[in-house]
Structure formats: structure tokens, C-alpha cells
Structure 1
């Protein structure tokens, strides 16, 4: 069930039996020479939509712009400042909480969002604590599609040390499963991209000229993406149900 394809009476009826919702969140940023700019939003979105179909949970529109300032030296990348993303998360949570949603599960595809989303959660909890209102803040969770145990096992099996940290063969494979007509297999040089720390966008571009970090996305395939998709759907159903039951 998708929020943007529902009417308000549909949502009112849904809230009579469930107070949970999945909010996909990602980024719009470069993913190397053969990775889609929307990779980090596409991955959680396609998995979340399937989870919604299988277990009847409501899925919100994807928050497709994240904290990606370090990618801005590559054309097409779009970023929020951390303070902007915190404000967006707070407004989304407060909007949903006003209607009665009590279990809000942010399903993430971009590692650069993690610290900022957790900071937003801290702001939301702090606001409830300081105001001393009679109603607690909603239960919030941030989960990453690529960290599920089934997904991790397949990534290790297929890609081992070639997975890397950015523009990984796993995430690119999943986008090719979702959009096979956009698959761009290619051989890359060097095969394995360098790895190191980085700071701002200029520093990132100098250290990683083609956008990859430690990865070899030439290993990506549609077939691998299909396996990762099924694994992530299973991981997410398991994790979401545990979240709702313990909230």
C-alpha cells in the first residue's frame, strides 16, 4: 500500500488497524561511471514497495535527497545540508504523528544519511522530553537495506573484498534488477577503486576521480540484483515486524 496512491479515507481506514509506516530515504548522488545517480533512493524504494505488497504495510513517498555534500563535485548530485535534512525528518515525523502513526520505520539506502537521521531522532526525542507533553514521541527506527543478514551474506559470497564502500556491485546490481534497461556493464580501470578518508566535495573528487570508493562495480549483474532484492525483502519484513512488536 503506497501513501501517494491512496486517498485520505484509505489512510483513515488503515489507521484503524495499524499505526506503522515505512519511509524510504536515500540520496541523489553520483555512483561511479556505471551507477545510476538515483541508486541510493531506488534501492530502498523498490524493496519497501515489495514489502508493502507482501505484508500490507503503508509505504510513504521516498525522501530521495539526502546528506551528500561530498559528491557535489560530480555533475547531477544534489544534497541537503545536515541541518536541512534534520528539519525535513522532523517535519515528516511530526506530520505522520499528528495523524496517529506511532511506529515510523525509516528505510535507508545512503550511508551518509545515518548520522544526520539519528541526530534528527535525537532532536525529536529531546523536544518531547523538554516540553513534557503527555504524549510520547513516536517510535522511530533507521534501518539500512544493505545491512540485513541475508543481503550481507550474498554480498560476501558474490563480491567479497570487491564490494567496497561506494558505488558497490551490490547496490548497482539492485538498481539493475529494478531498471534492467538502464544496466551498463563495463570494465573499469583500476579494477578496484582506492579507499581512504575524505572531507569536502573537492577533496572527494581528487581522491576518487571516477567516484568509486574501494569497489569494483564491473561485477554487478541483473541476476545478482534479483537475489539481493529477495534477500532484502525478507530481511526487511523480519526487521519491521520485530520493530512494530517491540515498540
Structure 2
């Protein structure tokens, strides 16, 4: 979905993809194809948005997991880049686990969901880089990560207001009314490639550390 006047449409799936593939080069990790369509109904007021219903997304996550489990994967880790996905992915996990609970069978795999911005050290780094205007959508941190990976797509735009307003997230029309240019609480113009490099490096370290903990559970 949209990411304000400066961000790429695919920002929320690009960020975890960029981080995961960078981590794959440094750790014992196998990265699956990116699941790049999720819960973006509140962005449908902006052109280019594609969204799934919660029931569709849950079914797709379950089929994704069961397909991998069928081939012997017993540790399946979802690195997420979109806050709107969280509730539905967690509900899908609960639905998957419950099928084994009701059948009185042991589940042959374990699942983990982690937002890339919740990786160890990232919130602290973002607060240092952006003490004001980080926000929660079209943030300078996610814009910086994508600009670093795709420097040919770096762009600038006027921000009005400089720091976007905050508010609740509901339906698409309400979202467009509250956040006319798509941003929530952020000043996307703060993003730089140098910051993106620092964020990616820190995210890679945090991801590898979290995966090691997950593997040991």
C-alpha cells in the first residue's frame, strides 16, 4: 500500500525482504518467497492498494505453513513489515495450533512472528536517528531502508504538515480523511541512505540473534 509522498508502494514487504536476504548471507537461514499482499483495507482510498480480507489472509497463511511443514520444515519464522498484518497472522497461528490440540496430536512445527522494527536494538536506533517525526506509517526508518536497497528510486517531496498527524485506524474513507497524504505521525523527509545502511545492519544482527533464540526454544 501507499507510503506517503516519498515511499514505495511495496515498502512494507520490501523492508523485511531486504533484511532477510542480507541476513541469509551471514547466517544459517533459508528465506522463503515474500508474502507481499496482506491486510491493507484501510489504505484502499489510495490508488494501487491491494488488500485481502482477514479470512482470506488467514487461509493463505495456514496453507503457506502447512505446505512448508509437509516438506519437513519445523521452524517457520515470519518477519513482518506491516502492522496491519499482526492480528490476523496471530489469529492464523492460533487456528493452526488449535487443529492439533483438538485432534490430541503434537504439532510438528513451531511458528514465530516478529516485526522487523521490534528486532533487538531497532527501536532504540530509530529513536536516536529520529527523535522527532518517526511516527508509525511512512516512517523515515522504513523509507531509509528501501532507499538504501533501491537508490535509483530515491525521491523528495514537500511535507505538509512537516510531521503528519496521529489518530486511529479504521476504514479506508476515514483513513484518507484523517491522513490525506498517507503518513501517520511521520516526517518521511528525514530518511537518508546512510541511515538505511545502519538500520539494515542492526536489523540483520537482531534477526540472526532472534532466530538463534527461536531455534533453541
TM-score by length of 2: 0.97
- 2: CA distance between counterparts of 1:239 and 1:125? 22
1:18-40 Cα shifts (integer Å, max 9, x gaps): xxxxxxxxxxx000011000000
Instruction: Within 5 Å, give how 1:1-247 maps onto structure 2.
Output: 29-133=1-105, 135-246=106-217
1:128-166 Cα shifts (integer Å, max 9, x gaps): 111223x41411000111112322122101112310010
- 2: CA distance between counterparts of 1:194 and 1:145? 23
Q: Shift in Å at residue 199 of structure 1?
A: 1.2
CA contact (8 A) 1:30 1:211 kept: yes
Structure 1 moving runs of 4+ over 2 Å: none
- 1: CA distance between counterparts of 2:132 and 2:41? 26
Give secondary structure in 2 for the equivalent of 1:162. Answer: coil
1:163-215 Cα shifts (integer Å, max 9, x gaps): 00100000000000110110112331100101111310011001100000000
Structure 1 gap segments, 5+ residues each: 1-28
Kindly indicate whether structure 1 or structure 2 has the higher relative contact order, using CA contacts under 8 Å at least 6 residues apart: 2
- 2: CA distance between counterparts of 1:49 and 1:75? 29
Structure 2 gap segments, 5+ residues each: none
Root-mean-square deviation (CA, aligned residues, Å) is 0.9
Q: Shift in Å at residue 56 of structure 1?
A: 2.7
- 1: CA distance between counterparts of 2:212 and 2:94? 23
- 2: CA distance between counterparts of 1:232 and 1:160? 19
TM-score by length of 1: 0.86
- 1: CA distance between counterparts of 2:42 and 2:108? 32
CA contact (8 A) 1:128 1:137 kept: no
